[in-house]
Amino acid sequence: QKEVEQNSGPLSVPEGAIASLNCTYSDRGSQSFFWYRQYSGKSPELIMSIYSNGDKEDGRFTAQLNKASQYVSLLIRDSQPSDSATYLCAVNTYFGNEKLTFGTGTRLTIIP
Amino acid sequence: DTEVTQTPKHLVMGMTNKKSLKCEQHMGHRAMYWYKQKAKKPPELMFVYSYEKLSINESVPSRFSPECPNSSLLNLHLHALQPEDSALYLCASSRGQDYGYTFGSGTRLTVV
C-alpha cells in the first residue's frame, strides 16, 4: 500500500466552478498535512497546511482533514485558468525516519 | 528573506565530470533537504540535514555526495553520474517537519 495516494487525473473543471482534490494516507500517526501546487517545469509551492480535523480556509482554498478516515482534501472555489497545475498532497510520516511523504499528484486543468 | 536560492538553474555535464549544486537560505530554518524529481513524478527525498548534521540518506548512490558547510548552505557534489540521473534537483528548507517546506526553484540537470 502506498503511503500517500492521490488520483493522478487529469481533472478538468470549468472556470468558476469548484475543483475538489482528494488524498488518502496510511500512517495513522501522521500529524501534519500539506498541499503544494506545482506548475509545469517549476518547483512546488506550499499553498495550505492543516493539522486538526475539520476545515481550514485561506482565500479561495479550503483544506479538509478527517483523521479517522485518513483523508485530506483541497477545494478550490471560483477556479481560474491560473489554477491549472499539479497539486501534490504531502503528509508527515513516521515510517522509520520522520519525513514528509508526497503523493503522486493530481493534474488539474481549468477550462475557460 | 523568504527564499531558498539554488544555483545553477541549468547544468549539463558529462559522465566523467565533477560538479556541485548549491543551495542557500537565510530564514534561520534548522532543516534542509535535497529532492530529485523526474518528469510527471513527485519529488523523491534524497538527503535530510538537521542542525547541519546528516539525519536521513535515502540509500542514494555514492556518486551523489551532500555537504552542509553551515546552517545557511547546502551543497550536492556530483561525480560520475549516469544519464538516468538527469532530473530536476530541488533544495528545500523548513523550521521543522510540521511546518512544511520552502522549495528553491531547482537545478535542471542533464547528464550526457
Q: What is the Cα–Cα distance from A9 to B34, expressed in whole angstroms?
A: 27
pLDDT score of A96 more than 70: no
- Residues B97, A97: C-beta atoms closer than 8 Å: no
The answer to whether B9 faces chain A, any CB pair under 8 Å, is no
What value does the mean pLDDT of chain B take? Answer: 93
Residue-level pLDDT at A4: 93
Query: Which chain B residues are closer than 8 Å to A43 by Cβ?
Result: 88, 90, 103-106
Q: What is the pLDDT of residue B37?
A: 96
Ramachandran angles phi, psi of A67, nearest 5°: -70, -30
Q: Output the pLDDT for position A1.
A: 60
Instruction: Please judge whether A43 and B55 are an interchain contact, meaning their C-beta atoms are less than 8 angstroms apart.
Output: no
Distance from CA of B15 to the nearest CA of A (A): 24
Given pLDDT bands bounded at 50, 70 and 90, which one contains residue B91? very high
Task: Assess B86–A contact: CB distance below 8 Å, yes or no.
Answer: no
Of A32, A97, A102, the CB nearest to B42: A102
Interface test with B, best of A33, A100, A104, A107 (most B CBs within 10 A): A100
Closest to A6 measured CA to CA, from A71, A93, A92, A99:
A71
The per-residue pLDDT for range A14-49, each reduced to its tens digit, is: 999 999 999 999 988 888 999 999 999 999 999 999
CB atoms within 10 A of CB A81: 10
Strand partners, B107: B89
B39 touches chain A (CB under 8 A): no
Q: Over range B5-32, report the average pLDDT.
A: 95
Flag if A100 and B97 touch (Cβ within 8 Å): yes
B56, three cell numbers: 536521513
Residues B45-69: what's their mean pLDDT? 92
| pLDDT per position as a tens digit, A60-93 | 999 999 999 999 999 999 999 999 999 999 998 7
- Across the interface, whether the CB atoms of A43 and B88 are under 8 A apart is answered yes
Q: What is the pLDDT of residues B35-50, one digit of tens each?
A: 999 998 999 999 999 8
